[in-house]
Chains A and B, each alone.
Chain A
């Protein structure tokens, strides 16, 4: 019997080790696996490379992981949000590396990793600072930048419903980076609001098939807190 449900966030993140590249889903505070991130803080891993659209707000979740000195490098599109004080301070003090990636290029680098595509060309960022040091080629008269796939050792994601095979549905704008990150990592861990019996999820509604998911933990915390 395939059963990917684990009892706790702590147990779920047990395979995460020092130096890993960790993909973290979410856009702002919606669809963000904060309980899994908190469990990573408790576990005490170090030297992580974190890939996430934003770079944490306030002092919980990703902001806490960074504040505790567990993150060597952040790869993201938009680190500067209201309340992103931890990242700003670490960056100013030179205590964290930051790689800024256009949001669509970030999504596509993840998608490519999930689809077995090592690199691709895109016109996004051509002729800008973010193309410096990257190979550029002309396609159809247009300058395009070579971008590489961005695979994760592990992905931490949030979903709405799951069954024991790890089939997932998402809720509204909580989908965001979660499905593409689930496909881009060797090990995908999902925190979910509802666990339902196998066979009860309408196959037409399953966005991420369980093939892409390794561990599921049931954390019905309610609605995201936006501030």
Chain B
């Protein structure tokens, strides 16, 4: 499935640029949960004067930037168990209230990583096989089912070139039909009633090349 000829001059987004691209689309006032890993980087790319409320499953509302050296507080961690800070106006709640926020429809957006997204919006991001040893789900299913919008931030393919945007997920689902947009290192793609609709591509990439890296058929806006 690997692409035969790597396009010269392809402006593939690195992790920071992927996170920045998502951040550019988050308006002031949204309440947002960022998944563990790559999505966590999104917070670093929202300008401090744009008031976005980042919530963490473990009961932190309105996280600020990473602590400065010497100012770390081990009592204040995020869902990825990294030390974080609290913005003025921030608050702490219990796990029950934190998930009431998520499941009760107060979350404007969850940005999640994924193994696969299907063209109908199915999300697979928690287990690699139905018989996986000691699987771990965390808050993924609550976020996918409860957030008003789910955007996925992931590499367009696996390291060996296998597409992650697929007709049907092969891996166990986190939630059916929940993803509305996918940001990858190559493109921004909406999930519509007619399947994947490419909104933008990085410079130097042809439609044919993007399609060759994608299992499901693409339409182009």
B is bound to A: yes
> Which A residues contact B (CB, under 8 angstroms)?
27-30, 53, 77-81, 84, 87-88, 91-92, 98, 100-108, 110-111, 122-130, 170-180, 207, 223-226
Inter-chain CA distance A80–B130, complex, in Å, is 16
- Interface contact B137-A88, CB-CB below 8 Å: no
> Which B residues contact A (CB, under 8 angstroms)?
56-60, 73-78, 81, 83, 86, 92-96, 98-99, 102-103, 127, 130, 133-142, 145-146, 172-176
7 additional contacts (CB under 8 A) given A81-B81, A92-B133, A107-B95: A29-B74, A87-B134, A123-B145, A126-B145, A129-B173, A171-B75, A180-B94
Known: A107-B99, A124-B142, A179-B94. A80 touches B57 (CB 8 A): no
Inter-chain CA distance A98–B127, complex, in Å, is 15
Pick the residue among B60, B78, B141 that contacts A130 (CB under 8 A): B141
**Interface centre among B77, B94, B98, B172, by most A CB within 10 Å?**
B94
Inter-chain CA distance A91–B174, complex, in Å, is 22
Q: Which residue of B lies closest to A224 (CB)?
A: B74
How many residue pairs link A and B with beta carbons under 8 A? The number is: 153
Enumerate the 5 nearest inter-chain pairs by beta-carbon distance, A residue then B residue, closest first.
Answer: A104-B142, A104-B99, A80-B136, A103-B139, A28-B81
- Interface contact A124-B145, CB-CB below 8 Å: yes
**Interface centre among B57, B92, B99, B172, by most A CB within 10 Å?**
B99
- Interface contact B127-A102, CB-CB below 8 Å: no
Inter-chain CA distance A129–B86, complex, in Å, is 36
Inter-chain CA distance A111–B98, complex, in Å, is 12
State the Cβ distance, B50 to closest chain A Cβ, in Å.
24
- Interface contact B99-A128, CB-CB below 8 Å: no
A127 CB contacts on chain B under 8 angstroms? 173, 175-176
- Interface contact A102-B94, CB-CB below 8 Å: no
- Interface contact B75-A124, CB-CB below 8 Å: no
